[in-house]
Chain A
Amino acid sequence: EAGVVQSPRYKIIEKKQPVAFWCNPISGHNTLYWYLQNLGQGPELLIRYENEEAVDDSQLPKDRFSAERLKGVDSTLKIQPAELGDSAVYLCASSRLENTEAFFGQGTRLTVV
């Protein structure tokens, strides 16, 4: 079975520019997570979806971040405009059901210059 696929793997942008990350979860997985991970830190939850519904977006900086999960499958995370402090690895994960093991993609490493 294919794992969680994220693209792009790396992205370098100038500050104030927009950027988007894409995630294709494992087929049949209802729960989708977006995390942000800074170097030397654990992943921090940005948003969690159950099917197409964002059930937890309390940690998402809504002034510049947005996300969507079309038809409860693929998801896109967008930052507009990007700031220097947004440089991090953005991880997508999915799980079959809530409170089961999560499978992670390889992440997108964002560098804002």
Chain B
Amino acid sequence: SQQGEEDPQALSIQEGENATMNCSYKTSINNLQWYRQNSGRGLVHLILIRSNEREKHSGRLRVTLDTSKKSSSLLITASRAADTASYFCATGYGGTSYGKLTFGQGTILTVHP
């Protein structure tokens, strides 16, 4: 079963524009992670935000987490053609399922040069 649901399913933008992807989930989490997947490098971890954090930055990436709405967003600023990939959110559980990591269906991002 997959908890996270990404929105939109696909996003097409021009190089230099910002890209925003959203993730919603259903149950309480310990953390939320974002991963990127392209054919060349497989699944790569981008950023982890814990349930007691609201915002996190890493280079051109900005992640927000709203636990009251059970949602997160990933913003990629000044996008590049190399950012073309599928992006997945993954929820890390606490409680009796501590350590379980469940992925959503992903957002396909295409950045046109």
Contacts and interface: CB of A to CB of B under 8 A. Distances in A.
Interface in B53-112: 88, 90, 92-94, 97-106
Interface string A83-110: 0000000010100001111111111000
B48 interface: yes
Contacts of B97: 56
B98 A99 contact: yes
B42 A107 contact: yes
B101 A33 contact: yes
Contact of A44 (B4, B93, B103): B103
A106 B39 CA distance: 9
Contact of B1 (A43, A59, A91): A59
A45 interface: yes
Contacts of B20: none
Contacts of B104: 42
Given A99-B31, A99-B92, A101-B48, A45 B101 contact: yes
Interface string A29-57: 00101010000011111001010000110
Contacts of B100: 45, 48, 56
Given A42-B88, A59-B1, A102 B101 contact: yes
13 contacts: A31-B99, A35-B103, A41-B105, A42-B106, A43-B43, A59-B1, A98-B99, A99-B30, A99-B94, A99-B98, A99-B99, A101-B33, A102-B101
Given A55-B99, A104-B42, 18 more contacts: A41-B105, A42-B88, A42-B106, A43-B103, A44-B1, A44-B2, A44-B103, A56-B99, A56-B100, A93-B43, A98-B99, A99-B92, A99-B98, A101-B45, A101-B48, A102-B90, A103-B45, A104-B35
Interface of B: 1-2, 4, 30-31, 33, 35, 42-45, 48, 88, 90, 92-94, 97-106
